[in-house]
Amino acid sequence: LNRKKLVKTSSTPGKTQLINFFKINDEFYFVDLPGYGFAKVPGSVSKQWQRLIEAYLQERETLRNVVLIVDSRHKPTAQDRQLKQWLDYYQRPVLIVASKIDKLKRGQIQKQLKQIKQDLSLDKTPLVHSSLEKGRREEIWKNLWP
């Protein structure tokens, strides 16, 4: 969104614990769901998030696209794979974005993208995001509405 003061962010995974709605314009909301992959939270909290996320994704009739952000430094988690399978099953459009690409060494990037593509059973290589390269954000926006 490129609005640094829109919401408080944390360097600690798991700080988003609610569904946050951000109105972009009269026709478009950006919705931030709780992270689950590397959050250091009790299992009961993680399960609660899973139920919250599943209910939102299943019941939200106006949902037009889901962006699944995976950390490119790691293999997709079991939760990443489960969410992708769930989205496929319910025929929800999903855009996979590999984040933190700037944290990888140049030689690791293609290997990690191939791993993500394989683990999530993707037809094409995921898009990438780097906080250092502004052009990557534009590519993601363009792919939200194919």
One domain, residues 53 and 94: no
Report residue 5's pLDDT band, with 50, 70 and 90 as the boundaries.
Answer: low
pLDDT at 3: 55
pLDDT at 138: 85
One domain, residues 46 and 83: no
In 10 A of CB 11, how many CB atoms? Answer: 5
- 7 CB-near residues (< 8 Å, 6+ apart): 20, 22, 32
> Is the predicted pLDDT of residue 99 greater than 80, yes or no?
yes
One domain, residues 27 and 78: no
Whole-model pTM: value is 0.80
One domain, residues 15 and 26: yes
Which domain-ending residue is among 20, 39, 61? Answer: 61
Q: Which residue has the higher pLDDT, 114 or 32?
A: 114
User: Which whole-number Å values give the CA distances from 39 to 47, 63, 77, in the listed order?
Assistant: 12, 25, 12
One domain, residues 88 and 53: no
Q: Which residue has the higher pLDDT, 145 or 16?
A: 145
Domain span at residue 117 reads: 64-146
CATH number at residue 108: 3.40.50.300
Residue type, 93: P
pLDDT at 70: 94
Tokens (6 digits) for 86: 């769930």
One domain, residues 70 and 139: yes
> Could you tell me whether strands 94-99 and 127-128 are parallel, antiparallel, or unpaired per DSSP bridges?
parallel
One domain, residues 74 and 56: no
Residue 44: its H or E element: helix 43-59
Q: How many domains does the chain have?
A: 2
Alpha carbon distance 135, 146 (integer Å):
18
Tokens (6 digits) for 55: 């209910």
Which domain-ending residue is among 37, 61, 85? Answer: 61
